[in-house]
Amino acid sequence: MLVSLKEPDIQSSAPIALNGDILLARPFEGRCDALCAALLKTRGVTSVRVQTLRGHSNTYRIVPDSTPGKRSTVIGHGLLEERRYDASDPLAPQRALEAEWNLMMSEGKALLQSDDAPEPGFTIAIEDGPAVPDAKPRSGRVDWSLEPSAPHRKALTITDAGEQVLLRQSILSIFAPAAPLLIGASGGIENFRFGWARRRLG
């Protein structure tokens, strides 16, 4: 079943030079996060429009602080703690990016948010949900059903203005009862439950 739903992965033979207006389509977060900020910091990129599955979208630009318009902030980018830099810190790369972003914002730049929708030169589509439309969802949490979950798809696709696929990577998976059957547990104090343990396939 998973094989029939799998689209072939496409790997670009050369680095993809993103530029101009970028559409970032994804299922959940509609605000500007670390990925949005990284795109805005990419040389040649003029705007990033973040669009959710429900069609809600916002367009973000880095502009001079004197530019009129609605200001926004980036999720996950905050001031660094006042402590000694530690190169072995697993968050060191993120902290360095945060510092660079904060420095830029302090030097007369601002993150402008608007509702216009420029024609994208590139589209980055992120999928994370049922691979079959209208499929009844079933997560990896334990229950007493012997049925596998509906196929779940995670994918990243980059297309250009002509809708040519430049890169596509995807993972299809299901959760099925473990073999041999094992009793598992999930939940917390308020929703603890027993059921057949499940394992991820794919």
Residue written as token pair 């596998």: 148
Q: What is the spatial distance between Cα 41 and Cα 183, in angstroms, rounded to a whole number?
A: 49
Identify whether 141 is part of a domain: yes
Q: Do 29 and 108 share a domain, yes or no?
A: yes
pLDDT for 71 = 87
Identify whether 73 is part of a domain: yes
Nearest residue to 172 (alpha-carbon basis) of 136, 141, 132, 121: 132
- Structural domain of 62: 20-114
Q: Do 134 and 65 share a domain, yes or no?
A: no
Identify whether 24 is part of a domain: yes
DSSP code of residue 141: S
Q: Do 89 and 165 share a domain, yes or no?
A: no
pLDDT for 120 = 96
pLDDT for 80 = 46
Mean pLDDT by 10 residues, the chain (202 residues): 75 92 89 88 95 89 92 65 61 74 86 94 92 64 79 92 94 85 84 84 76
Identify whether 1 is part of a domain: no
Nearest residue to 31 (alpha-carbon basis) of 52, 6, 1: 52
Q: Which of 114, 145, 167 is the last residue of a domain?
A: 114
Identify whether 105 is part of a domain: yes
pLDDT for 141 = 67
Total structural domains within the chain = 2
Identify whether 9 is part of a domain: no
Structure tokens that stand for 116 in this block: 């216009």
Kindly give, in sequence order, each residue whose CB lies less than 8 Å from that of residue 193, ignoring residues fewer than 6 positions away: 141, 142, 143, 185, 186, 187
Cβ count near 122 (within 10 Å): 20
Handedness of CA 95, 100, 112, 47 (dihedral sign): negative
Q: Do 110 and 35 share a domain, yes or no?
A: yes
Identify whether 144 is part of a domain: yes
pLDDT for 137 = 57
DSSP code of residue 23: E
